[in-house]
Amino acid sequence: MAQESPLVTEAKKIPIEALKYTYTERDVILYNLGIGATEKDLQWTYEGDDEFSALPTFGVIPQFPASGSIPLDWLPDFNPAKLLHGEQFLSIKAPIPTSGELVSQARLLEVLDKGKAAAVTSVVETRDKSGTLIFENHSTVFIRGSGGFGGQRSGSDRGAATAENAVPKRSPDAVSEEKTSPSQAALYRLSGDENPLHILPEFAAIGGFNKPILHGLCSMGISGKHVFQKFGAYKDIKVRFAGVVYPGETLVTEMWKEGQKVIFTTKVKERDTIVLASAAATLVDNAAKAKL
């Protein structure tokens, strides 16, 4: 493997503060609603239900402020407006508490030089008060215009976090279709991602979009819900953000079960465009059998 750039080696030495995330059952319900749970899904929308729980992709929420706290201004020509969320990997290490206080510690994992862009991957470990690891997130962002610093071009193999997840050459084992609400982004942002790109038309226009776009992590959550509904619990999930979704569009998740892995792709029905690619979830060993 190519030698790490001295720029990256130095950047890894910058201290990063651990961040607390305190939440209640109300925050869990708000997240579940934000990824399309309804009043019929009482286990996700009513705190008094015997089966009340957070949907698995809630794991991206407590880590979000920590993931965004990693300084990137050491990159050449860094411009935060040119940052794109490329990939997300979530590993669920323990049962998800429905309220409490969690602490997330971020660290810079690797920075790749893609020529015209830099690809920055960070890892965030989220623990409860006892120190038990609950979630591990790997986030990759692309910063356009920040390449060419002489760094390595290809990254390390991180197993499920970097798997290509090629789609099998057969029809899907399950398909879920869900129309998002025109207010989906306005609701989802209340879970912590307040980027104006998802609510302000004039800000979206600066980014080159004709209207505000849905959060990539919201699309990931909706598809993660589809996988959970069809195949049961999973211990990790990974997606590549391949296109934009506008609130009000219909998401179609196509799923293929390959052993313990469910490979999936997500399309916008109205434009027949893939928005989540190279995606898969690894089922827990005793997951409920597929409800096909």
Catalytic residues: 193, 198, 213, 216
Under DSSP, the state recorded for 169 is S
How far, in whole angstroms, is CA 76 from its chain's centroid? 26
Query: Are the C-beta atoms of 152 and 242 separated by less than 8 Å?
Result: no
Report how far residue 289's alpha carbon sits from residue 287's, in angstroms, rounded to the nearest whole number. 6
Q: For residue 103, what are the β-bridge partners?
A: 20, 127
| Residue 283 in tokens | 């089922």
Question: Regarding beta strands 234-241 and 117-128, do their DSSP bridges make them parallel or antiparallel, or are they unpaired?
Answer: unpaired
Report how far residue 286's alpha carbon sits from residue 267's, in angstroms, rounded to the nearest whole number. 29
String of DSSP letters for 182-199 = TTHHHHHGGGS---GGGT
Query: Are the C-beta atoms of 191 and 27 separated by less than 8 Å?
Result: yes
Q: In a 3-state reduction of DSSP, which class is residue 92?
A: strand
Pinpoint the alpha helices (H) of the chain: 6-11, 25-34, 42-45, 64-67, 184-188, 201-206, 216-231
Closest by CA position to 54, among listed 94, 22, 98 = 98
Closest by CA position to 67, among listed 158, 135, 145 = 135
Q: For residue 85, what are the β-bridge partners?
A: 141
